[in-house]
Amino acid sequence: MRIGILTSGGDAPGLNAVIRGAVFTGIQVYNQEFVGFRNGWRGVVQGDIVPLGRHEVKGISKQGGTILGTSRTNPFEGIGGVDRVNEVMRTNGIDAIIAIGGEGTLAAARRLTDAGIKIVGVPKTVDNDLSATDYSFGFDTAVGIATDAMDRLRTTGDAHDRCMVAEVMGRHVGWIALHSGMAAGAHAILIPERKTSVEQICDWVTAAHDRGRAPLVVVAEGFSLDSMDDAHSERGLDAFGRPRLGGIGEMIAPIIEERTGIETRATTLGHIQRGGTPSAFDRVLATRLGMAAINSVVEGNWGQMVALRGTDIVHVPFEEALGTLNTVPDSRYDEARILFG
């Protein structure tokens, strides 16, 4: 069998480990052949294909980014569509596709599978917002990077007796904020799932400051104050027509300063959270997902993605993966909230 692999959507540390896990297992165990589509679905539609053998995947699990490149291309737009994808696969002798991507990627994969194209998915979301998998690769790395940044923000905050606001990724869900904030001992964690008032935030900040601490506020990019209808966005739309987020930290910092009288600074961590070397946890998870994807191909589990449940890798239909967001449950937020202020 000849299998094409693609990575699509925003990158996440661990993509290369998935590719390596799949290629290595496919060649070693099943004697399969691989090619890579460059830049996600764009490579499929344009027939932009590169060789992908043992040599190409050598030593790449520790590398950030993706050796195949990525894009937020929709395979149904422009010259794309089912016929075009079939044509590119036929011309290049490709029997099946492994699509590594988030919700948009898997939604497109599902439509193509419904049209008879053989696709297996691997979930990718640094925000950890896909409910079909307990954890997605890249999340642990992002939490580690954010925690390290917050530890640093705390020492400079202490030195100047300032309130520090750290903005992290998290469009719809606050997992990165919750975990990094808890790890760093934040005095307030603000997540998209919980609108919060300025008064409440300032109460937490003041309480921490009154105890002699330099307050640390962690805010997810998708968070809204209770007075806001939508998440803060001032950068237009992305390729999928979604508002580009970022800037809520800068927005609330002067409000905190004005209301509490405590000098306040904001730092947006942004894409630093997605860059660089994946953690050991993410390398292992990503490798296992890549290996399981190949088993799925061999078993003909088309229209399914691999996922982590507890410590097991399982197979889940795309529908399930696309159904609901993996939001932070109230119980997890309320548990963290005990530590605020």
Closest approach, Cβ 253 to ligand F6P, in A, equals 20
Dist CA 36 CA 97 (whole Å): 10
Of 296, 242, 226, which is closest to residue 127 (Cα–Cα)?
A: 242
> Mask: binding to ligand F6P, 32-61, rule CB under 6 A, as x and -?
------------------------------
Q: Segment 102-131, which members bind ligand F6P (CB under 6 A)?
A: 126-127
Task: Say whether residue 245 binds ligand F6P (CB under 6 A).
Answer: yes
Q: Segment 196-235, which members bind ligand F6P (CB under 6 A)?
A: 221
Closest approach, Cβ 186 to ligand F6P, in A, equals 19
Alpha helices in 1-55 (DSSP H): 15-30, 41-46
Closest approach, Cβ 20 to ligand F6P, in A, equals 22
List of residues 6+ apart from 59 with CB closer than 8 A: none
User: Is 330 a known active-site residue?
Assistant: no
The neighbouring-strand residues paired with 320 are none
Nearer to ligand F6P, 47 or 64 (CB): 64
Closest approach, Cβ 136 to ligand F6P, in A, equals 10
List of residues 6+ apart from 85 with CB closer than 8 A: 44, 45, 75, 112, 117
- Contacting residue, 3, 4, 5, 10, with ligand F6P by CB under 6 A: 10
* CB distance 119 to 99 below 8 Å: yes
Closest approach, Cβ 21 to ligand F6P, in A, equals 22
Measured in residues, the chain has a length of 341
Selected catalytic residue, list 127, 129, 140, 282: 127
* CB distance 141 to 282 below 8 Å: yes
- Contacting residue, 238, 258, 312, 319, with ligand F6P by CB under 6 A: 238
> Mask: binding to ligand F6P, 248-277, rule CB under 6 A, as x and -?
--------------------------x---
Give the count of residues interacting with ligand F6P (CB under 6 A). 10
- Per-position DSSP letters for 83-121, written without gaps between them: HHHHHHHHHTT--EEEEEE-HHHHHHHHHHHHTT--EEE
Parallel, antiparallel or unpaired: strands 312-317 and 304-309: antiparallel
Nearer to ligand F6P, 140 or 221 (CB): 221
Nearer to ligand F6P, 17 or 169 (CB): 169
Closest approach, Cβ 82 to ligand F6P, in A, equals 26
* ∠ Cα 237 106 223 (to 5°): 45
Dist CA 300 CA 74 (whole Å): 24
- Contact positions toward ligand F6P, by CB under 6 A? 10, 126-127, 169-171, 221, 238, 245, 274
Residues designated as active site:
127
